[in-house]
Amino acid sequence: MEARELSLIGAFGVAFMLGMLVWIWWRRKTVYRRELPRIYELRDLLPNPPPPGAYFCNLDKSLAEIPQKLRQFRDLERDLQGLDAAAWNFLKSELEPLLTAQDAKRGWQPLWDRLNQAKAYNHLKDARYRNIEFISPSTVRGQQTPDLRAELNTTRVLCEVKTIDISEIEAGRRHSGGAGSTSDRLDSGFFTKMQFDVEQAEKQMAAADPNPATKRLAYIVVKFDDVLHGGGDAYRSQIDEFMASARLTAELDVVFDIDPAFYAAMA
């Protein structure tokens, strides 16, 4: 076989391999877009390519390489799919400016705090509430409004979503990359923050609608310092004990959303 023929065969082989790599990349990209359409709608709110530091940089690559992230994004997609068209459009508009607003110390916490509102919407939906709507922020400076309104039979319902995020100490540790430790007991700072958030939620809803006949619900998403939530079951028991003994208003229903133990490690 002549050298020219060998060269052509080699060139064909290289071209074939490159074509296969492009096909694999394209297929992977389209598969994730079909599986996670609303997440990709958020991704498409950014310029292409996304600006450096934006949340969805290297989305396809990270989903392919990190099975835990793919699992978590599938769960997030399920939450987002539960929203009707009006609720989804509203939440998208609220999320868009947060896609490039990474906090220097707490990373993408503001974005995920807002995404947690979808969890509350789905809780209301699963509990057979009707006419569920997000409430637009007040245009009055300093005035806070509840996040959601709904109806249960003939009763008006308000819902405020709060996220108890990791402590300042843990946020600093993760930011600096320092070593950390976990405990099987939640500290007093956690319960102080939790009680403050519950009381603030009640005040916000009472200010928005003082009618005692209005049902008020606080939906509390909890993120522990223990990144794997290994002590999740024990923490939940401690929260239940605190809520049973705390002097909180009887006019408020409180629902806690807590990831299962070791959720962050699940693939």
What is the structure's pLDDT at 163? Answer: 96
Give ∠ CA 157-201-160 in degrees, rounded to 5: 45
Claim to verify: residue 175 and residue 137 sit in the same structural domain: yes
Q: How far apart are CA 11 and CA 210, in angstroms?
A: 76
In a domain, 45, yes or no: yes
Of 18, 33, 66, the residue that ends a domain is 66
Exposure string of 213-252, with b = 16+ CB inside 10 Å and e = fewer, is ebbbbbbbbbbbbbeebbbbeebbeebeeeeeeeeeeeeb
Q: Which domain holds residue 1?
A: 1-66
Question: Is residue 126 within 8 Å of residue 87, measured between CB atoms?
Answer: no
The pLDDT of 84-109, averaged and rounded, is: 95
Q: Same structural domain for residues 31 and 157?
A: no
Element housing 221 (H / E): strand 215-222
Examine residue 254 and state whether it is found in any structural domain, yes or no.
yes
218 close to 123: Cβ distance less than 8 angstroms: no
pLDDT in tens, 120-166: 999 999 999 999 999 998 888 878 899 999 999 999 999 999 999 99
In this structure, is residue 76 part of a structural domain? no
Sign, CA dihedral 81-86-89-41, equals: positive
Let me know if residue 203 belongs to a domain.
yes
Q: Starting at the edge strand that comes first in sequence, how are the strands of the sheet with 215-222 ordered?
A: 130-134, 148-152, 155-164, 215-222, 252-258
> Does 233 lie in the same domain as 189?
yes
Residues 57 and 172 in one domain: no
Quick count: other Cβ atoms within 10 Å of Cβ 196? 12
Identify whether residues 174 and 207 lie together within a single domain.
yes
Q: Which of 23, 38, 66 is the last residue of a domain?
A: 66
Q: Are residues 2 and 103 in the same domain?
A: no
Domain-terminating residue out of 66, 91, 111:
66
Residue 107 in any domain: the answer is yes
Per-residue pLDDT tens digits for 36-47: 999 999 999 998
Same domain? For 132 and 12 the reply is no
- Nearest alpha-carbon partner for 115 in 62, 42, 33, 205: 42
Shared domain check, 87 and 35:
no
Q: Does 36 share its domain with 109?
A: no
Structural domains in the chain (count): 2
What φ, ψ does residue 135 adopt, rounded to 5°?
Answer: -105, 125
> What 3-state class would DSSP assign to 181?
coil
The string of pLDDT tens digits covering residues 10-19 is 655 555 455 4
Q: What string of DSSP letters covers 107-139?
A: BTHHHHHHHHHHHHHHHHHHTT-EEEEE-PPPS
Task: Pull the structure tokens for residue 187.
Answer: 């500290």
Classify each residue of 6-27 as buried b or exposed e, where b means 16 or more C-beta atoms within 10 Å of its C-beta.
Answer: eeeeeeeeeeeeeeeeeeeeee
Query: Is residue 71 in a domain?
Result: no
Residue 187 lies in a domain: yes
For residue 249, the model assigns a pLDDT of 63
pLDDT at residue 19, rounded to an integer: 46
Q: Let me know whether 100 and 53 are in one domain.
A: no
33 in a structural domain: yes
Mark whether 19 and 92 lie in a shared domain.
Answer: no
Apex 237 CA angle, 236 and 241, nearest 5: 115
Residue 119 and residue 31 share a domain = no
